[in-house]
């Protein structure tokens, strides 16, 4: 599983809720939904998402979304590079 710690993005009494994730294969620009295993979860301002079936030699963009407060929605992007090993 991959995690995103949201604590430094929040202020005061805010907390992360309603987490979402999407995964894009940067080689094709297509959404790669089969690479996400189940929905994201949030606990103590840490969002967790399990990824699977990523292919060696490809790059992916994992987009994390969450609500911090009414009307305040964050999106954070993480690049995943899956390198081939000899």
CA distance 64 to 11: 18
| Confidence at residue 84, expressed as pLDDT on a 0 to 100 scale | 84
Strand order in the sheet with 59-69: 30-31, 17-25, 59-69, 72-81
pLDDT tens per residue across span 19-51 = 999 999 999 999 999 999 999 999 999 999 999
**Pair 9, 73: CB distance under 8 Å:** no
Give mean pLDDT, residues 55-75.
Answer: 96
| Confidence at residue 86, expressed as pLDDT on a 0 to 100 scale | 72
Q: What percent of the chain has pLDDT over 70?
A: 100
In the three-class reduction of DSSP (H, G, I as helix; E, B as strand; rest coil), residue 4 is classed as: strand
């Amino acid at each position: 599983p991959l995690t995103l710690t949201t604590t430094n993005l929040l202020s005061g009494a805010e907390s992360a809720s309603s987490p979402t994730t999407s995964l894009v294969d940067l080689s094709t620009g297509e959404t790669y939904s089969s690479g996400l295993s189940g929905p994201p979860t949030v606990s103590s301002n840490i969002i967790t998402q399990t990824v699977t079936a990523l292919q060696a030699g490809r790059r992916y963009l994992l987009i994390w979304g969450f609500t911090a407060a009414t009307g305040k929605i964050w999106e954070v992007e993480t690049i995943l590079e899956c390198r081939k090993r000899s």
